[in-house]
Chain A
């Protein structure tokens, strides 16, 4: 497992560094310039993170390796496929979390307590990190058999757009709150819509999302190994 993590780290670390620099710098400059309110700027920074990080993470981990042919080499090693996936998911989670964490640190350092309390800012960024991980999990699961990064990227964009629209659609009053909470964007909406139409707590949404993410990882683990397509 240590060697698998080492491999993933070497392959993805430049993306991690790049994303940390971009998101951290955006937060730093945006907050410092104070063109918008702190809350609006945080929304911009987190939107940038949510739209790019899950795609960046999911396309590079499995479809890129399938495209290169190295996934077959990995799967032919005497190692359980779930270990290979665990290393990839760990790296994907890091790719989703670290840049937003860097942006959070930059935001707190520049503006902590100015318009929002530090706790409010940290809660917002924590929810964004979890939302990014949820989106990443959807993208990874649905792109597990795709043989190219480009197709996985397009799929990732499609998944983001789908869930954005679905979240809006599921907010319709007649839709039960539990159905609305399936959307990965539900947590951000729950936190930010001043008068949420859904009578459901953030912790319940968090619980539902955790179950979905674990389910997606299980499904992905089942499908990464069974590369039954004809060589």
Chain B
């Protein structure tokens, strides 16, 4: 599902039919993704959904078993170094060289990037208040993430890929990191591909969202569209069967005299409810609840369907 994304601009990231397995474990299953330029793009999924594998594929660190990958129009399998030169990357729980001082680390990394901007690096170091003479191993977690972000930005990348960079940070530090991200990247019109499972934070900065579950994309949409279309419906318990038949049903629960359903397109659900004479209350959802409906709700439905099949058998 790739709704509400501009199709006229060449995408910064494009995946078509990408598959990747590690042994018998299929991690990416026919992954299709299109990231337009200039957006902050949230890549959401639970642990083990395939987020890191996707990102490592984008950087040419992992070769997919099948499918096409393009990053800034380049195939990372053929030109991984070209991709890495033009992309800023902060890895999940990135480990730097502990014995180096922050200044030494910057001097070590800089020569690998032809576009490294020393004055911009100095500005970033000042803004992020990086202690240049402190050894990396003595930095706090928050300082470490800021160093990684500074290193990812100082060569003025066209695309920044962040793999769950706030993992392990306390709430205040996470907010500071996102503040820095918003201030320095969105202002520069740099495309950001941001993987996370902390949705309440992503919600504030993401223009678009893609939800990955078990190696498959279950929804890709602009954040506002997602909020506008995915709704929770609360109806009397007698309407449960009607709710079960709604198009785009993501989750269905019954408690006491009420049945609640989450649908991915409220506009498609309304006529069905009207035709059946069901009066349902529509409730707005935040990104966290939408994600839960897609990831957990679908699994419940899948389990119910399997149980039904087993019963019949």
Chain A residues in the interface with B (C-beta under 8 A): 2-3, 6-7, 10-11, 68-70, 72-73, 75-80, 226-231
Contacts and interface: CB of A to CB of B under 8 A. Distances in A.
A230 B61 contact: no
B81 interface: yes
A11 B104 CA distance: 13
Contacts of B112: 3, 77-79
Given A3-B108, A227-B61, 18 more contacts: A2-B111, A3-B107, A3-B111, A6-B108, A68-B98, A69-B93, A69-B94, A70-B95, A70-B96, A75-B61, A76-B84, A76-B89, A76-B91, A78-B82, A80-B81, A230-B53, A231-B52, A231-B92
Given A72-B91, A73-B94, A73-B96, A78 B81 contact: yes
A72 B109 CA distance: 14
A230 B96 contact: no
Nearest to A1: B111
A68 B82 CA distance: 27
Nearest to A229: B22
27 contacts: A2-B111, A3-B107, A3-B111, A10-B99, A11-B99, A69-B94, A70-B96, A70-B97, A73-B91, A73-B94, A73-B95, A73-B97, A76-B59, A76-B89, A76-B91, A78-B82, A78-B84, A78-B85, A78-B112, A78-B113, A79-B81, A79-B112, A80-B81, A229-B22, A230-B53, A231-B52, A231-B56
B241 interface: no
B84 A77 contact: yes
B27 interface: yes
B53 A231 contact: yes
Q: Which of A75, A77, A228 has the most CB of B within 10 A?
A: A77
Nearest to A2: B111
Contacts of B113: 78
B25 interface: yes
A66 to B, nearest CB: 11
Interface in B108-165: 108-109, 111-113
Given A6-B108, A78-B112, A231-B53, A68 B22 contact: no
Interface in B193-248: none
B307 interface: no
Given A70-B95, A79-B112, A230 B27 contact: yes
Contacts of B93: 69
Interface in B44-67: 52-53, 56, 59, 61-63
Nearest to A7: B108
